[in-house]
Structure 1
């Protein structure tokens, strides 16, 4: 059985997966989520891309991030870090772009949880007031939300916040910030430490070709 992104295995939704051949055998890992719980899993070694999961749906072994006393953003941050370490043990699954690809996959999954269907937006990340740490051109709303979630995932502000026990709990300010962004239908602005993250329709279009859906109040920059 081949593990595919978006597929379900024993109720778990696969967020990211990779299976590669090294020397003799194939080896693979996948990252999955289920009702707020997160898991990293090692597939069985085998002779093809299709025999990492047994017919019964069993993988080799996994690590679970499901402590109910912690919030989901903390769980998926933990899971992505552990997933990278697991990939390093699985043949040639790991590469220097692995963490980035896994992070992108998580952002894509989270952005799709609450469909937007709205005007084009741009993501931005400012630190220490007005210093721009990251920004995009106007993008389709869901893509902009993915970019914003990636910004939030990589910033040291989030990792620093998670060093404080109260920020690990469900309903903490950090948890609320992530949930506010995930549920956003349009412009949004949140703050974590000295960092501000947001989506805005007041930005310009780049060279990326896609059908534009500007906000009714949007005006092209002269």
Structure 2
């Protein structure tokens, strides 16, 4: 469990999140629902121990996202950008949504999981009753190994090979063969 030494606390040497075993997250059946219950339980324990704050919750969520991204290997996948936007009318704290520049596929997928985690509470339900529920949306992102686009509630989320690189980010670039990485 979180001991305050690093944001990697709670993970063993193999990258497995040991707290998840209390909720049966290791199995495939109901994985996402159990994973979300495990994170919720972890936050509750932290609150009771007076360790919780917004930064702790962000760090724990990010650590779980790093774990989930590794469930489907992305080696050799071209760089992608992640994003979300409000697709249906209604109040939103972030009415415009957000997106990233082109990033290595694993980082873009992690960003999409972060967008999903942070925007899910205000996503609500789709006005026409269409789209994915939260568990299906997580499974969609976790299992993807390429571009994806889906609606959850009043929001649309995506991973795409379209976008631009930023000169501020230094990493080995793997542009899609049909894209130049400059928005064209």
Q: Give me the TM-score of the superposition, normalised by structure 2.
A: 0.73
Residue in structure 2 matching 1:7, options 9, 13, 22 = 13
Q: 1:37 matched to which residue of 2? A: 24
The answer to whether the 8 Å contact 2:20/2:38 transfers is: no
Residue in structure 1 matching 2:64, options 92, 98, 106 = 106
2:102 paired with 1:135: no
Bigger fraction of residues in helix: 2
The Cα RMSD (Å) is: 3.2
Greater length-normalized contact order (CA 8 Å, ≥ 6 residues apart): 2
Shift, 1:173, TM fit:
4.6
For each residue in 1:151-194, what CA deviation from the matched residue of structure 2 results, as whole angstroms up to 9, or x when unmatched? 11121357746xxxxxxxxxx75433322221211111111111
Shift, 1:103, TM fit:
0.7
1:48-197 alignment runs, 5 A limit:
71-90=30-49, 93-117=51-75, 118-128=77-87, 132-156=96-120, 160=124, 173-197=133-157
> What CA distance in whole angstroms lies between the structure 1 residues aligned with 2:122 and 2:21?
21
Shift, 1:33, TM fit:
4.2
1:178–1:95: structure 2 CA closer, same or farther, 3 Å change rule?
closer
> What CA distance in whole angstroms lies between the structure 2 residues aligned with 1:213 and 1:129?
34
What is the DSSP-based 3-state SS (H/G/I as helix, E as strand, rest coil) of the residue aligned with 2:54?
coil
1:214–1:96: structure 2 CA closer, same or farther, 3 Å change rule?
same
> What CA distance in whole angstroms lies between the structure 2 residues aligned with 1:101 and 1:132?
25
For each residue in 1:185-215, what CA deviation from the matched residue of structure 2 results, as whole angstroms up to 9, or x when unmatched? 1111111111111101101112110011000
Shift, 1:106, TM fit:
1.1
Q: 1:212 matched to which residue of 2? A: 173
Unmatched tracts of structure 1, length 5 or more = 16-30, 40-65, 162-171
1:77–1:154: structure 2 CA closer, same or farther, 3 Å change rule?
farther
**Which is higher, the Rg of structure 1 or of structure 2?**
1
1:6–1:197: structure 2 CA closer, same or farther, 3 Å change rule?
farther
> What CA distance in whole angstroms lies between the structure 2 residues aligned with 1:145 and 1:86?
28
